[in-house]
Amino acid sequence: MYNLLMTILLVVSVLIIFAVMMQPAKTDNALSSLTGGADDLFAQSKPRGFEVFMQKVTLVLGIIFFAVAIAMVYVSSH
């Protein structure tokens, strides 16, 4: 059981890495990295389409990651 959970954890970890790397960048220029993106603080733009999908995928994978990690701790202690 522990080996199965470890395999699932490794697969989910790789999928999280890909999901985070696939998300579109929030900043468009180097100036916002110097100013801290203060001009975007009050912007009312909502994420749409692919960006929303990738945020949901990342959230679900994160929840699965923590659930499997907790299950591994439980299995290893019993």
The per-residue pLDDT string of the chain (78 residues; one tens digit each, 9 = 90 and over) reads 999 999 999 999 999 999 999 987 766 566 555 665 555 555 566 767 888 899 999 999 999 999 999 999 999 998
Position 31 in a domain: no
Q: Model pTM?
A: 0.71
What does the pLDDT read at residue 27?
61
What does the pLDDT read at residue 15?
96
What does the pLDDT read at residue 58?
94
Domain count, the chain: 1
Q: Report yes or no: 69 and 13 within 8 Å, Cβ to Cβ.
A: no
Nearest-Å Rg of the Cα atoms of the chain is: 18
Position 29 in a domain: no
Position 41 in a domain: no
8, two tokens: 């699932």
- Report the distance separating Cα 77 and Cα 2, nearest Å: 11
12, two tokens: 């989910």
Position 71 in a domain: yes
Please give the residue range of the domain that contains residue 17: 1-23+46-78
53, two tokens: 């999908």
Position 38 in a domain: no
Q: How far is CA 39 from the centre of its chain?
A: 25
